[in-house]
């Protein structure tokens, strides 16, 4: 039945593309006018395509075929109920660096009395359509209308598990600014978000939100919401710099040596939020996995490590809990403080904690002597 559902989904997507429906609202918009002129003049684009600082390998080969076959086979979903708590937000944003995990790469960050929201995806599925595509392992801890007022929404790139149309349209009812990589603004405008609330930046450009600096830093990844718009928007990571405390948000990225430059010029960081899930050798140039994430944390001169991009959507063929089990293993060996809250839980990097559910999962792996892939 699982194979049939996935096969049907693939056919539906191909039919939609064939009918030209890839240009409809869920797929976003395309850059034109002044935005297109800016892309054409950008050193981060070549012939209208965003380019990586380090070459990536995204060619269709046997590794990708094997991954797809394994994905269809299934078995990556949780067999237990995952912990979710309802956040208790204060009326006034915290001055001390504070983070609330909303699942996957969605984090509500508070710093110097400013609230920022990263890559918010609160819909049931990471997909252009809510009747198909990767479904949540757990309910979102909050809906958009249960969130406190947010000063800015920070987007790393335009993939569906990082840029969700329904969530963004709901957030546009507030007063937040939308700080995005160059080109992503076309999607937002298609969804009715006013252009004056959209701030588009390139690598090493920055903006300020009520005194907090947001610096667009490089990433090694790719972009696109369909089959015909690969890399037409920029992908990025973000440095979040307060008066006394600093954080870094990876978005999606593979390893790249310029992470050392980010650490040298903008660090050290009190907190790094780095992706650890949905990894495989087939795409090791565009995703990290736990071992590479810990190495990047060290390059960035990070103190506490907050893993993101795991435990929410089924996007790979590894067991659903393998990323966090592996990270806890190697972080303990390295003496690196790790923050692993339940979805909806709030923590500060000054007091990093591992929720008992996740430490218990790691203990079960050890008891069962299950190997954790690098």
pLDDT confidence of residue 361: 85
How far is residue 333's CA from residue 90's CA, in Å, rounded to a whole number? 36
Q: Determine contact, residues 251/236, Cβ cutoff 8 Å.
A: yes
How far is residue 8's CA from residue 259's CA, in Å, rounded to a whole number? 40
The dihedral region occupied by 94, where left means phi > 0, alpha psi between -120 and 50, and beta the remainder, is: beta
How far is residue 120's CA from residue 171's CA, in Å, rounded to a whole number? 9
pLDDT confidence of residue 131: 86
Q: Determine contact, residues 222/56, Cβ cutoff 8 Å.
A: yes
Q: Determine contact, residues 321/361, Cβ cutoff 8 Å.
A: yes
Question: φ, ψ for residue 371 (rounded to 5)?
Answer: -75, 145
Beta bridge partner(s), residue 308: 275
Helix (H) or strand (E) holding 306: strand 302-308
Contacts of 22 (CB under 8 A, 6+ apart): 16, 226, 227, 228, 229
Helix (H) or strand (E) holding 56: none
pLDDT in tens, the chain (374 residues): 554 455 455 555 555 554 455 667 999 999 999 999 999 999 999 999 999 999 998 765 556 566 666 656 566 788 899 999 999 999 999 999 999 999 999 999 999 999 999 999 999 999 998 888 899 999 999 999 999 999 999 999 999 999 999 999 999 999 999 999 999 999 999 999 999 999 999 999 999 999 999 999 999 999 999 888 999 999 999 999 999 999 999 999 999 999 999 999 999 999 999 999 999 888 899 999 999 999 999 999 999 999 999 999 999 888 899 999 999 999 999 999 999 999 999 999 999 999 999 998 888 887 776 767 76
Q: Is 322 helix (H, G, I), strand (E, B) or coil?
A: helix
Closest alpha carbon to 107 in 295, 216, 238, 235 = 238
| Token couple for 236 | 């990025």
pTM value is: 0.92
Domains of the chain, with CATH numbers? 23-368 (3.60.15.10)
Q: What is the DSSP track for 65-122?
A: HHHHHHHHH---S-SSPPPB------SS--SS-EEEE-STT-EEEEETTEEEEES---
How far is residue 352's CA from residue 213's CA, in Å, rounded to a whole number? 24
pLDDT confidence of residue 57: 81
pLDDT confidence of residue 68: 62
* Strand 177-181, strand 152-154: pairing: parallel
Closest alpha carbon to 277 in 363, 340, 223 = 340
């Amino acid at each position: 039945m699982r194979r049939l559902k996935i096969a049907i989904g693939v056919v539906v997507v191909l039919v939609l593309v064939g009918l030209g429906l890839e240009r409809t609202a869920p797929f976003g918009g395309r850059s034109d006018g002044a935005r297109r002129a800016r892309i054409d003049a950008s050193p981060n684009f070549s012939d209208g395509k965003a380019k990586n600082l380090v070459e990536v390998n995204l060619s269709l080969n046997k590794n990708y075929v094997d991954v797809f076959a394994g994905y269809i086979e299934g078995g990556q979903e949780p067999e237990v109920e995952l912990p979710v708590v309802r956040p208790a937000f204060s009326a006034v944003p915290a001055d001390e660096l504070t983070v609330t995990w909303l699942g996957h790469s969605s984090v509500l960050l508070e710093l110097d009395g400013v609230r920022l929201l990263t890559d918010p995806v609160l819909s049931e599925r990471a997909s252009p359509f809510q009747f198909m595509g990767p479904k949540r392992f757990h309910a979102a801890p909050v809906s958009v209308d249960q969130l406190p007022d947010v000063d800015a929404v920070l987007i790393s790139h335009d993939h569906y598990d990082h840029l969700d149309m329904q969530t963004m349209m709901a957030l546009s009812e507030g007063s937040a600014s939308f700080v995005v990589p160059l080109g992503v603004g076309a999607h937002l405008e298609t969804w009715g978000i006013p252009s004056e609330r959209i701030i588009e930046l390139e690598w090493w450009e920055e903006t300020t939100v009520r005194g907090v600096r947001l610096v667009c830093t490089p990433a090694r990844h790719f972009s696109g919401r369909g089959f015909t718009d690969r890399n037409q928007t920029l992908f990025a990571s973000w440095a979040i710099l307060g008066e006394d405390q600093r954080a870094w948000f990876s978005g999606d990225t593979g390893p790249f040596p310029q992470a050392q430059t980010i650490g040298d010029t903008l660090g050290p960081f009190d907190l790094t939020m780095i992706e650890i899930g949905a990894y495989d050798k087939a795409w090791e140039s565009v995703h990290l996995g736990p071992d590479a994430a810990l190495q990047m944390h060290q390059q960035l001169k990070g103190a506490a490590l907050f893993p993101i991009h795991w435990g929410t959507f089924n996007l790979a063929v590894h067991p659903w809990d393998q990323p966090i089990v592996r990270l806890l293993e190697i972080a303990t060996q390295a003496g690196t403080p790790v923050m692993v809250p339940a979805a909806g839980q709030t923590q500060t990097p000054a007091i990093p904690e591992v929720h008992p559910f996740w430490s218990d999962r790691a203990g079960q792996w050890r008891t069962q002597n299950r190997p954790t892939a690098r």
